Amino acid sequence: MRRRSLLRRTRRRRERDDGGFRLGTALFALLVLLVVAAIGFELFRNSTLPIRKFGWNFWRTSDWDPVSGEFGALPFIWGTVYSSVFAIVFATPIALGIAIFVSEISANRFRRPLAFLTELLAAIPSIVYGVWGIFVLVPIVRKFETLVSKTPLHRLPIFAGPPYGIGMLSAGLILTIMVVPFISSVSREVLRAVPLTQREAAYALGATRWEAIKVALRCGRTGIFGAIILGFGRAFGETMAVTMVIGNNPQASLSLFAPQYSMAAVIANEFSEATGDLYLQALTEIGLVLFVITLVINVLSRVLIWSTGRAPKRRIEPASAAAAAPEAA
């Protein structure tokens, strides 16, 4: 009789423990969810003034004059999109080359060091890229721009204007360097998820190495696409390095030589000095849009990357497990 009650008591305690454990950890898990929601809500709540006052015109006009209360964010959007697209165009082939080289071509013992070196690029803080950018990269870019401005290329709208060095070209180049490691490391993961049997089948049909790689690339194409979009998202929100070299001039221009501005840069520069609610809220609204866009980009790219991570396994279950083993090392 005593033993049974003891058993019952311990079991009841266990159940209470389990419930408490589940609830307790769930609260913290909920907190993570809440933070994301709260960021969106706070940004929205704190940008109602400009949303009411300007509506869509906020995004269609380019007068940014805090003194007279005119706020048009078009130059910042332009600068952000322009620099990010520039970075993605140049970073994608380089990053894919690295991913292919590390996961498909290089000898096994070089894989780790190579992956480590490219990830070192991602570990360097943005501010350090900025310091390097203004003192080293910008003078080089200025020299290049001076050279170009003496050639007929200068007549093209993208090479127009005086050679400042500081401007869209410097910002785009620095973003390219910063985005490469992101795209390459995610693409590498995607390529690793493509089963070895795919390449073996290609080789068995007499394919060359490049043709086999192309098969693997095709298998992982949604994931690689996701990696590129993820890199785009990074470039979109990158702040310090861009702020330091883009020139901070709210003028949308097609010229790579022109000093321009980006959404993140204007927040970094003006937020702590913004006087008046409307000014502060206008900057917050820019932050809100930055948040929404990166949110969409992130969700989209995760879905794409996850879908390749799982899809091949479902299709070719039995062979892939054994074949993937040597590659995992």
Q: 293-312: which residues touch other proteins (CB under 8 A)?
A: 294-295, 297-299, 302
Minimum distance from residue 322 beta carbon to other proteins (Å): 19
Does 28 interact with other proteins (rule: CB under 8 A)? yes
Q: Distance between terminal CA atoms of the chain? A: 57
Closer residue to other proteins (CB): 172 or 255: 172
Closer residue to other proteins (CB): 143 or 156: 143
Contact 217, 224 (CB under 8 A): yes
Residues 97, 149, 222, 324: which binds other proteins (CB under 8 A)?
97
Contact 228, 297 (CB under 8 A): no
Stretch 175-214: interaction string toward other proteins, x if CB under 8 A: --x--xx--x------------------x--xxxxxx-x-
Closer residue to other proteins (CB): 14 or 315: 14
Minimum distance from residue 266 beta carbon to other proteins (Å): 10
Q: Kindly report the backbone phi and psi dihedral angles of residue 260, in degrees, each rounded to the nearest multiple of 5, phi listed first.
A: -130, -155
Contact range with other proteins by CB under 8 A, out of 9-17, 153-161, 187-195, 218-226: 9-17
Minimum distance from residue 157 beta carbon to other proteins (Å): 28
Does 6 interact with other proteins (rule: CB under 8 A)? no
Contact range with other proteins by CB under 8 A, out of 18-26, 68-76, 191-199, 317-325: 18-26
Residues 74, 81, 85, 94: which binds other proteins (CB under 8 A)?
94
Site for other proteins in 208-267 (CB under 8 A): 208-211, 213, 230, 233-234, 236-240, 244, 264, 267
Contact range with other proteins by CB under 8 A, out of 68-76, 94-102, 145-153, 158-166: 94-102
Closer residue to other proteins (CB): 13 or 218: 13
Residues 102, 224, 246, 258: which binds other proteins (CB under 8 A)?
102
Q: How far apart are CA 65 and CA 120, in angstroms?
A: 41
Does 278 interact with other proteins (rule: CB under 8 A)? no
Stretch 112-131: interaction string toward other proteins, x if CB under 8 A: --x-xxx-xx-xxxxxxxxx
Closer residue to other proteins (CB): 11 or 151: 11
Closer residue to other proteins (CB): 94 or 158: 94
Minimum distance from residue 288 beta carbon to other proteins (Å): 8
Closer residue to other proteins (CB): 88 or 255: 88
Site for other proteins in 131-170 (CB under 8 A): 131-132, 134-136
Cα–Cα distances in angstroms (integers) from residue 210 to residues 22, 36, 95, 213, in the given order: 51, 43, 17, 5
Site for other proteins in 53-72 (CB under 8 A): none
- Those residues whose C-beta lies under 8 Å from the C-beta of residue 60, and which sit 6 or more positions away, are 72, 74
Q: Kindly report the backbone phi and psi dihedral angles of residue 71, in degrees, each rounded to the nearest multiple of 5, phi listed first.
A: -130, 110
Q: Pairing mode, if any, of strands 64-65 and 70-71?
A: antiparallel
